[in-house]
Amino acid sequence: MYALSLVTFLYGFLLSPHFAFARSLNRPRTACDAPARIELAKRAVAAIVEPTLQQSVATYTAYPFSDDASITVNPNHIGGIQVSHDRQSTISFLAILYELLTSVEAHAFVNTDDTHNFFNVTVVLGALHAIPTPVEAFFDAYLTYTLEPCKLQAVYADATVPKALLPVLVDILTP
């Protein structure tokens, strides 16, 4: 009787949520776990500050974007402007962005759930002669990933830019 009770107890424990939690502590890392997504976000930021445009484009070309990768920018909360709709247009937009930026400083990389993370970035705009003087802009970037395989699928960026710069930025962002 005692042996049967022990077997029943162990069987019940093995199926319980408590044991499931203990099993999760010993699981190996998955390909798209939280640390992997943070690393991908950091790689995306690092690519925009490569020494040359060619190096930046090469890094983004090798970057794991999904085929339907997209970027949407919402400058000063006027509404989202989709600036890319697939992998190639995403890389092309990032090449344009490279030309606009003179410095980039990312902060606070955070995972928000199993497929999303967030970071904010301070940039100095001032290239392409479209922007009269170097000015700071701030972006809160929300990234969405596919899990199998682990690829960046979407970026939504809330941008805060000086009001005088807003028409120029909207002109650059819209096709």
pLDDT tens string 22-35: 434 444 556 899 99
Instruction: Give the pLDDT mean for 114-131.
Output: 79
Q: What are the C-alpha distances in Å from 76 to residues 41, 98, 138, 157?
A: 23, 21, 10, 10
Residue ranges, comma separated, of all CATH 3.10.450.50 domains in the chain are 31-173
Q: What is the pLDDT of residue 131?
A: 58
Instruction: Give the pLDDT mean for 74-101.
Output: 93
Q: In the CATH hierarchy, which top-level class contains the domain 31-173?
A: alpha beta
Q: What is the pLDDT of residue 163?
A: 81
* Selected residue with higher pLDDT from 18 and 109: 109
Beta-strand ranges (E) seen in the chain are 65-75, 81-84, 101-111, 116-125, 135-146, 151-160
Indicate the pLDDT class of residue 67, thresholds 50, 70 and 90. Answer: very high
